[in-house]
């Protein structure tokens, strides 16, 4: 399956809820206040969030006036343009190598799976990859990562259950440098004894990366579960406050009709949406493209 069809398949549920609702309002009638009211309702009920919805409606009104649009049908393209602009506000810049990507997020969102997918993707691109199993808290975490490492045939650095995650990161940087690796992917715990300890741990890992490998481009990428809609935005907020995120990956978009929340995420945070997960296999991680995303949902 090609890139767009994979995305299209993955976004089916969001398209079904969002795109179908839109169908009933882009009817070809005159552009009037009731159209904007209906559109507002559709946007809010598609997890786009009240503030972002308001922004979209205002932009749409303004641009429709500028371009002298009189019929609802002719607004559809305009709506797409506004949505693409929002999603492109803070685009993910191409990676430069070597780079370190610390992957973080609450438990069960898909961190380890995303790293597995990335290990394959980078390897396929001819990059040398090292994995750091820095989730030493959950007993089976490193075994799970090891399965992905074997699949992608990449080096993995592990340590005993309960050991210091920052020490694993320290060792993995030494290994990555020695092998002249292009990419170091760090898997972290989703749950520690409490949230404050988790944030401290992530900060400690960050210090090790910055001290031990300052030449490497460093990404702090949060993973959020797309099925949680606006709650995913709250998680980005929480982690961003603690450690200043650079990137976000949204997983499980294949299982949700709430994909609209990406718009409020893009609008409210200076964090680049880098990848989206649309399934459980290694191929189901896509570079995020604003235009393709909008085309896939409406
Ligand atoms: N459908 C779907 N499932 C996904 C996707 N990404 C991850 N999953 C599934 O989500 C579940 C949890 O994934 P993990 O990678 O273990 O999540 P984690 O964040 O590492 O979890 P912890 O280590 O416990 O914090 C697994 O069953 C994955 O197969 C996705 O894009 N789509
Ligand atoms: Mg994990």
Q: How far is the CA of 200 from the centre of ligand 1 (A)?
A: 24
Helix (H), strand (E) counts: the chain: 13, 8
Find the mean pLDDT for residues 222-230. 95
β-sheet bridge partners, residue 100? 184, 218
Distance CA 18, CA 207 (A): 43
Cα distances from 118 to residues 164, 187, 230, 233, in angstroms, run: 24, 12, 25, 23
Q: Is the dihedral of CA 265, 230, 298, 109 positive or negative?
A: positive
* pLDDT greater at residue 248 or residue 160: 248
Nearest atom in ligand 1 to the alpha carbon of residue 109 is: 19
Measured in angstroms, how far is the CA atom of residue 157 from the centroid of ligand 2? 15
Q: What is the pLDDT of residues 16-58, one digit of tens each?
A: 888 888 888 988 889 999 999 999 999 999 999 999 999 999 9
What DSSP string describes 101-149?
A: EEEE-STTSSHHHHHHHHHHHHHHTT--EEEEEE--SSTTHHHHHHHHH
Q: What is the pLDDT of residues 171-204, one digit of tens each?
A: 999 999 999 999 999 999 998 778 899 999 999 9
**Spatial CB neighbours of 281, under 8 Å, sequence gap ≥ 6:** none
pLDDT digits (tens, 9 = 90+) for 237-289: 999 999 999 999 999 999 888 899 999 999 999 999 999 999 999 999 999 99
Cα–ligand 2 centroid distance for 188 (angstroms): 7
Helix (H, G, I), strand (E, B) or coil at 99: strand
Please check whether residue 111 is in contact with residue 223, taking contact to mean a CB–CB distance below 8 angstroms: yes
Spatial CB neighbours of 296, under 8 Å, sequence gap ≥ 6? 4, 7, 8, 10, 11, 14, 15
- Which chain residues have CB less than 5 Å from ligand 2, an ion? 111-112
Write phi, then psi, for 209 (nearest 5 degrees).
-60, -50
Ligand 1 atom nearest the C-alpha of 144 is 16
> Which of 110, 285, 288, when mutated, tests ligand 1's pocket best, judged by the most ligand atoms within 8 Å of its CB?
110
3-state secondary structure 140-179: CHHHHHHHHHHHHCCEEECCCCCCCHHHHHHHHHHHHHHC
Q: Name the residue at shortest CA distance from atom 17 of ligand 1.
A: 110
Residue nearest (by alpha carbon) to ligand 1 atom 1: 279
Cβ contacts of 245 within 8 Å, gap of 6 or more: 220, 221, 222, 236, 239, 269, 271
pLDDT greater than 80 at residue 160 = yes
CA distance 186 to 210: 14
Any idea what DSSP says for residue 27?
Answer: S
């Amino acid at each position: 399956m090609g890139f767009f069809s994979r995305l299209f398949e993955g976004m089916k549920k969001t398209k079904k809820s969002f795109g179908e609702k839109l169908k009933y309002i882009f009817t070809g009638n005159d552009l009037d206040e009731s159209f904007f009211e209906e559109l507002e309702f559709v946007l809010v009920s598609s997890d786009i969030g009240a503030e972002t919805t308001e922004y979209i409606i205002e932009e749409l009104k303004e641009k429709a006036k500028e371009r002298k649009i009189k019929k609802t049908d002719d607004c559809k393209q305009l709506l797409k343009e506004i949505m693409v602009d929002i999603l492109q506000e803070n685009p993910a810049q191409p990676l430069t190598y070597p780079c370190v990507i610390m992957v973080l997020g609450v438990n069960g969102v898909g961190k380890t799976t995303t790293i597995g997918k990335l290990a394959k993707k980078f390897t396929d691109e001819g990059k040398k990859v090292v994995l750091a199993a820095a989730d030493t808290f959950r007993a089976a975490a490193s075994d799970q990562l090891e399965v992905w490492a074997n699949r992608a045939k990449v080096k993995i650095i592990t340590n005993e259950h309960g050991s210091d995650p920052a020490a694993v990161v320290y060792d993995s940087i030494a290994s990555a440098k020695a092998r002249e690796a292009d990419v170091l992917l760090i898997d972290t715990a989703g749950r520690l004894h409490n949230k404050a300890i988790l944030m401290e741990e992530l900060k400690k890992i960050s210090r090790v990366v910055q001290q031990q490998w300052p030449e490497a481009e460093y990404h702090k990428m949060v993973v959020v579960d797309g099925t949680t809609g606006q709650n995913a935005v709250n998680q980005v907020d929480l982690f961003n406050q603690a450690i200043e995120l650079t990137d976000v990956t949204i997983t499980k978009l294949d299982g949700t009709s709430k994909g609209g929340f990406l718009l409020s995420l893009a609008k409210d945070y200076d964090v680049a949406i880098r990848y989206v997960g649309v399934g459980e296999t290694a191929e189901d991680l896509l570079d995020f493209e604003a235009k393709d995303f909008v085309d896939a949902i409406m």
